[in-house]
Chains A and B, each alone.
Chain A
Amino acid sequence: MKKTINNIIIGLLVVSVCLSACNSDKLELYPETNLTDGNFYTSEADLTAATNDIYRQLSRLFDAGGIPDLYGELFSDNVYIRTTTGANNFAEQISEHNIRTDNGFVETAWNTAYNALYIINNVLDRLNNTTITFADPNLKTRLEAEALVARAIVYYYLTQAFGDVPFPLTVVTPEESYDYLRVDRSVIYERLIADLLQAKEQLPGSYTGNNVGRITSYATAAVLAKVYIADDNIPAAITQLGEIIQSGQFSLDANGDGQINVADYAHLFRSSTKNSKESILEVQYLAGQNNVNSNHQTEYSPWDFAFHLPGIGTTFRGTGLNTPSADLIAEYERDDPRKDLSLQLGFTNLQTNAFVDYPYTIKFLDENFLYPGQNVEVIRYADLLLLYAELTGDASYLNQVRARAGLEPYGASGYPSSEYPTLTLAIEHERRIELAFEFHRLFDLVRTGRAVEVLTAKGIPTSSNGLLFPIPQSAIDINPGLTQNP
């Protein structure tokens, strides 16, 4: 009897041990429907596809709700929030320069920017550390340079909106990330300038075929010029801008028909026209389902259920952000054709045929309003001409832009010099009109030091301290080493 028990117990133990030994590897399971960092980054194609993601990051940055939009437009006198909607008032806080530190829009924009930096830094780390030999070594160099410029663009906007910011240049683990505190802007610019100078040498001046739209050496120079300005190195900025202008690669003849006229301006804001002669850096979207849709038209269209796009019989309600201010609409000169190409004053209620007075911008117009894909002009030739005029004091560059719109040149008798008596004010006016809704306005006013004066006069009381976004409360809560803006 006892023997039997012993036998059984021994037998069972043997079997148990066997079971455990046989089965342990059954616990090793990995995802089957997506890639993991254990099986990716193993080929040239993988690294290229990973680098291509930087273009997705640029579109996230320039989406409505990204830093350029929030700071450049919503924070400026160009637009306001007409209809208060939704569960919070984050947009109103920004528009009215009354931002609380827990503003959700600012927090999201900050988080998006740093997530983009993480993805870009990961690309750079992977390219630096890979053992894969590229068939074309130039491709690897180019990919690295594209990533460097993308990173510089994100940091440029972060520093413009937030001032000194944490400055990771590699992938940082969550544990290490506590050590990344705010870095002085000048230190950041120094590094960005070095990166951009390197990338400018490594990138081509233009692309062909499916690569059109990638960052070129000229786009790099333009970003470099903006960083130089931010770093107060005006001569260096002038040099970069001069190079671009003198290259002859770009023209106000956006549609390339040999004539420079207002049709070129219209050409810029159509979904079907991408990467024109005037385009230096353009964030790329693609209309249609499952493509890369832009959110600007939806976000900026009237918050009204009867709203529909001109010529379209189906209504679509927008979010009601960035409604053009009366002050901006009034600033258009009487015969300026850019007004009708930039905004509409309202729409017709299809039910009643009554006109609804509710202005909105049409610079992001795409008739495929459910799946829009109009590119966003980040840096275009007119912007650089006006910037060059501003830095050099040479009004001819300003007048090139005015001539395209069919307007009298600055200095001529027909120019509204009573409103804009100095070249500085004339350029400020021209930039506001030419580049309205394109995320320039507040950057311009801050660069020229006129922001407090202009905004206060328009009934948006602010101060020089009020020109930076607060560091998001959540970021400080998580890492108390981060300081708040004054």
Chain B
Amino acid sequence: MIKKRILRYSLVAALWGSASIVYEGYAQEIKPIINASLQGTVIDAVTKEPLEGVTVQLDAVTHTVKTDRLGSFEFLTGQKLPFKIRVSFVGYVSKEVVISLSPSIIELEPSTENLDEVVVVGYGTQRKRDLTGASTNINFTEDISGRPGTEIGQALYGQAAGVQVITGSGKPGASSSVQVRGINSISAGSSPLIVVDGLPVPNFDLSLINNADIESIQILKDAASAAIYGSRGANGVLLITTKTGKAGRTRFEANFVSGLQQVIDKVPVMNAAEYAQAAIDAAQTSWVESGGGPNAPNTVAARGAYKYTWPIALENPETLPNTDFQDVIFRTAPLNRLEISASGGSEKSTYRLSGGILKRQGIALYSDYDRYALGFNTTSNVADWLEVGGSTNLSYDREQEPFNRMFEWAVQYPSIYPVYSENGYLGAPLNQPGFENYNAILFRPQNGHPLYRSTDEILRNRFNAIGNIFGQVRLLEGLDFKSAFNYYYHRNDGSNYQARDHLLGSSYYTEGAMSRDLSNTIGYTFQNLLTYNKQWDQHRLEALAGTEYNYSNYNYSYLERRGYDNDLVKAVSAGANVAAAEDFVTRTTFISYFARANYSFANKYLLSASIRRDGSSRFAPNNKWGSFPAISAGWILSEEQFLQDANFLSNLKLRASFGLTGNDRFADYRWVGQIGQGRAALGDNLLITYYPSSITNPDLQWERTKQYNVGLDLGLWDERLQLTVDAYQSNSDGLLLEVPAPVVSGFTTVFKNIGEVENKGLEVSLGTNNIQTGDFSWGSNLNFSFNRNKILSLGDNDAPMIFSGSVFSGMQKINQVGHPAFGFFGYQYGGVYLNQAAIDADPAAYADARPGDGRYIDVDGNGTLDADDRTIIGNPNPDFIYGFTNRFKYRSFDLSIVLQGVKGGQIMDDNVHRSLLYHEGRNYLKSLTNRWRSEDEPGDGYHYKIKVDENGYEKTPSSYWLFSGSYFRLKDITLGYSLPSAFAERIKVSSLRIYFNGANLFTSKSAPVFDPEGFSGDADDAGRRGVSSNTFPSAKIYSIGLNLAL
């Protein structure tokens, strides 16, 4: 016995360091086991169906058993009746019962939200009733994991207050991001930390893990909950827990989904006749305004320039093709997903094996996606004091992508051209008789026809492995030590062949280019946790101390050749000239120490405190280390004597928390002044030169967010109504900011910790169990949240940061003190000058304004329109977001409906913007059929006239380009039918459910865009929100599915 203990402690010591420390222990007394047995069955109190996998625990003994498929359990025990046993099962109210006969039947009451439920928290678990911070748990029940969406993010829509799912792209392999409680950061990343089974994985792509492998996701929202993740917790934390095996017989499960997908919506643009008229108007208007006679012949000879003329065919639009180019690229695409798993185990060991295949075509041409995943995990109680386990999850996916501007072009390419001209080349002015000279005026195939780059080939392959091994040692009753080694490997290889031939004939060949980008990240985390749980009298204490060492190594290389003789071999090797051969390597190390204590007294008074100390290689020498404390408290009033008479009140808890978290999401080595490599020439001689490309900042450190949160949990009528309200205020200071600096310093921005931003918000979540009869139940969950973001300071002088350029599609954004981050910035559009009198009446009318032109507001009222009249014209952040889920159950049928939406906020879509004005002849938005055409045909008074010579304001950022980002969506509807268990029994299955699902079936919106959710670029970059240009639109999906368990 002594030997065994020595072994145990040696192991602990060895895991903590490499030191070998030997302890001497005392032998423990072991009670003799007398063979006696206790048998029973656990059933659902409502349906009376047996429950499989219920945990049954004898009071005061750690030993537990699980019920089998028939709901039966059996204990071998030395004690005599009566026994007190504790019965618990996810989704049911746990209960303690005194059993006085064996076998006996125990009924469990189902619960939509169980207070005794154990939820995952940072580095551990906690009873839900003991939570003092703000977090939301999402269990991946059948109706969530069965949804056809191919990644986790889709399952989170509308489910959690204060959590906004952000889906930039509908590319079949793209994944969502989430934003928790507003934008805390301006220049650093704004997406939350992802923790998979305890391993923090920054930049984790949510599409890399199988939906069916996920047990639950816990979203830590307030700083007190997230502070245990220290310098990486400021954007909130997503704790993903994967499924594990359960003791009992082997259980086989299969989930199959087969669906059809279509583009969620099309952008309404003009048909051929409408476009033809608009094109004639544009030429004629500008010709007349340039001084030409309105009746001058429609010839270049008479009008001097092609732009003032039009092809004769436009006058007979019925002779023109009327092509819907969006129909050309979009298609109905299949989606098939199969996931199978086997799990089980004995009382000592459990395991789970899973595999998944996903095959998903994109809703657009040249878009195809496959994913294969394998997972394995096991745990084993090697001894009553030692548990070991491990897991591995592998996924491989490959994707073909269309050229990224295909969507933009499909919207913008004029409907007057055929897909292909009669000469076999792309339908385009140069191939359409009579249109040859309008190749830059009535749009063009090069960078315009949606099939122009269809001969390219863009591929991506990814391989992802994540896993861990761990050992957990029970040192003493209540005192456990766990050591885990987690690894993460991610490989991401892309290739891009840019064809020579563009379906336009040899004079439009380009040189051809092929590139490969190869990257891999390898990381590991070595984690050691000491936990101590103790209950005495009315006290309950959970304590945690731990260390973590994290190492990550990113390797990237890029190869490119140019100059291809033909498009036959799409390989780098086939190119003539090396255009690029580059590499980039970063390493990141991270050392952390942390501790936490949760204390509760009499199940009424809760107190929790934590602290973390982080050291990061990313931070500069003067600030390598930082500390992140948090404290929170809760008071369960419903347990108080004075409320015991309020029978309707089943739960009332008040919570308050304060915590400090950080944000380290910026590139490695940013504090180091770097030297760039340049090239210069002298004669025919090439010189390699060097120049400083950034400035050393020895003080660079994390952003610091301090957040206060107060919350209320209310349960009424035996938890049939559950209300959670949280209010918070956070202040992030020491912002990692690309702060504008006078360019005299050599740089227009300098990366440093300066500036402050505030977020305030309210989150309400209301769960109700509306109807609960024998056969029928109806439960709802409504959540609502808003966040108000305000910049409090911005560097020296608080100079506003104005962003412009191609990433914002010609729009400007601004960060200005006193306003939300990344507001749209420009002129305020004021409708059309309907006539000369309206111009004369406006002292600030610009010099060459004419009737039918747009009016811009002289905001400062100084009588002239100038740069000072640019103001904040929109906010990409919504006023509030909401979700409403209803779940119905009638006998064997289940129905769930998820409604979700966003209210307020503006979006800027480049497709729309370029179609609002004459822009090289792109097609126009349908709404421009209501444009100003003349004083007799003033249109809707909002859309100005179209003309080929623009005066400049058309192309200057203004609110004319903005649309409402509000939408309301039927996100998900699922109708399922489960085989009654008696029947299932007969065909030898545990359960069988078939269902129909519809995703994104209906959206109400006012913006003429594919999807107001769409945006270009990385969700991590807060500045990109609300701006889209060539976004792959999302899909609506109709699917049927099958859940089978054996």
Q: Which residues of A contact B (CB under 8 A)?
A: 1, 4-5, 7-8, 11-12, 14-16, 18-20, 23-24, 26-38, 40, 46, 49-50, 52-53, 55-56, 59, 83-89, 92-93, 98, 100-102, 104, 110-111, 114-115, 117-119, 122, 166, 168, 171-178, 180, 210-214, 274-275, 284-286, 289-292, 303-306, 308, 313-315, 317, 349-352, 354, 356, 370, 373, 473-475, 477-480
8 A Cβ contacts from B865-881 to A: 866-867, 870
User: Is B617 within 8 A of A213, CB to CB?
Assistant: no
Write the chain A residue with the least CB distance to B866.
A100
CB of B342 within 8 Å of the partner chain: no
CB of B666 within 8 Å of the partner chain: no
User: Is A85 within 8 A of B920, CB to CB?
Assistant: yes
Write the chain B residue with the least CB distance to A31.
B669
CB of B32 within 8 Å of the partner chain: no
Q: Which residues of B contact A (CB under 8 A)?
A: 9, 12-13, 16-17, 19, 21, 23-26, 307, 430-431, 436-437, 439-440, 444-446, 475-476, 479, 505-511, 530, 547, 549, 551, 562, 577-580, 583-589, 591, 593, 615-617, 619, 621, 624, 668-669, 672-692, 695-696, 740-748, 750, 796-797, 799-800, 802, 804-806, 809-810, 866-867, 870, 914, 920, 948-950, 952, 955-956
Residues of chain B contacted by A168 (CB below 8 angstroms)? 744
Closest 7 CB pairs of A and B: A118-B746, A87-B810, A53-B689, A286-B681, A35-B675, A15-B17, A37-B673
User: Is A478 within 8 A of B742, CB to CB?
Assistant: yes
From known contacts A85-B920, A88-B810, A477-B802, infer whether A33 and B585 are also in contact, taking CB-CB under 8 Å.
yes
User: Is A172 within 8 A of B745, CB to CB?
Assistant: yes
User: Is B507 within 8 A of A350, CB to CB?
Assistant: yes
User: Is A34 within 8 A of B683, CB to CB?
Assistant: no
A317 to B440, CA, bound (A): 10
Between A and B, 25 residue pairs with Cβ closer than 8 Å are A7-B24, A11-B23, A14-B19, A16-B593, A24-B624, A27-B589, A32-B587, A53-B691, A55-B687, A56-B679, A56-B680, A89-B955, A92-B952, A118-B745, A173-B695, A174-B745, A177-B741, A211-B682, A286-B685, A290-B578, A290-B679, A304-B439, A349-B430, A351-B505, A354-B437
Residues of chain B contacted by A175 (CB below 8 angstroms)? 796
Residues of chain A contacted by B589 (CB below 8 angstroms)? 26-27, 29
Write the chain B residue with the least CB distance to A111.
B743
User: Is A4 within 8 A of B25, CB to CB?
Assistant: yes
From known contacts A111-B743, A291-B686, A352-B436, infer whether A36 and B507 are also in contact, taking CB-CB under 8 Å.
no
From known contacts A11-B23, A33-B583, A305-B430, infer whether A284 and B562 are also in contact, taking CB-CB under 8 Å.
no
Residues of chain A contacted by B593 (CB below 8 angstroms)? 16, 20
A180 to B583, CA, bound (A): 39
> Other than the known A49-B688, A53-B691, A213-B685, what 7 A-B pairs have Cβ atoms closer than 8 Å?
A23-B549, A28-B617, A33-B584, A34-B674, A52-B680, A118-B745, A122-B746
Residues of chain B contacted by A305 (CB below 8 angstroms)? 430, 439-440, 444-446, 508
User: Is B507 within 8 A of A314, CB to CB?
Assistant: yes
Write the chain B residue with the least CB distance to A23.
B591
Residues of chain A contacted by B692 (CB below 8 angstroms)? 37, 118-119, 122
Report the minimal beta-carbon distance from B997 to chain A, rounded to whole angstroms: 41
A439 to B584, CA, bound (A): 40
Inter-chain contact count A-B, CB under 8 Å?
309
User: Is B687 within 8 A of A52, CB to CB?
Assistant: yes
A89 to B577, CA, bound (A): 37
A291 to B809, CA, bound (A): 30
Report the minimal beta-carbon distance from B664 to chain A, rounded to whole angstroms: 12
Report the minimal beta-carbon distance from A175 to chain B, rounded to whole angstroms: 7
Secondary structure class of chain A's binding surface, majority of residues: loop
Of B25, B681, B696, the residue contacting A37 (CB under 8 A) is B696
Write the chain B residue with the least CB distance to A288.
B577
Residues of chain B contacted by A350 (CB below 8 angstroms)? 507
User: Is B507 within 8 A of A177, CB to CB?
Assistant: no
Residues of chain A contacted by B562 (CB below 8 angstroms)? 289
User: Is B507 within 8 A of A474, CB to CB?
Assistant: no
Write the chain A residue with the least CB distance to B920.
A85
Write the chain A residue with the least CB distance to B621.
A28
A456 to B683, CA, bound (A): 41
Write the chain B residue with the least CB distance to A32.
B585
Report the minimal beta-carbon distance from B262 to chain A, rounded to whole angstroms: 31
Residues of chain A contacted by B797 (CB below 8 angstroms)? 178, 478-480
Residues of chain B contacted by A174 (CB below 8 angstroms)? 695, 741-742, 745, 747, 750
From known contacts A36-B672, A88-B956, infer whether A83 and B440 are also in contact, taking CB-CB under 8 Å.
yes
A31 to B742, CA, bound (A): 27
Report the minimal beta-carbon distance from B500 to chain A, rounded to whole angstroms: 10
From known contacts A59-B680, A315-B507, A351-B430, infer whether A89 and B674 are also in contact, taking CB-CB under 8 Å.
no
Of A18, A180, A213, the residue contacting B744 (CB under 8 A) is A180
User: Is A31 within 8 A of B674, CB to CB?
Assistant: yes
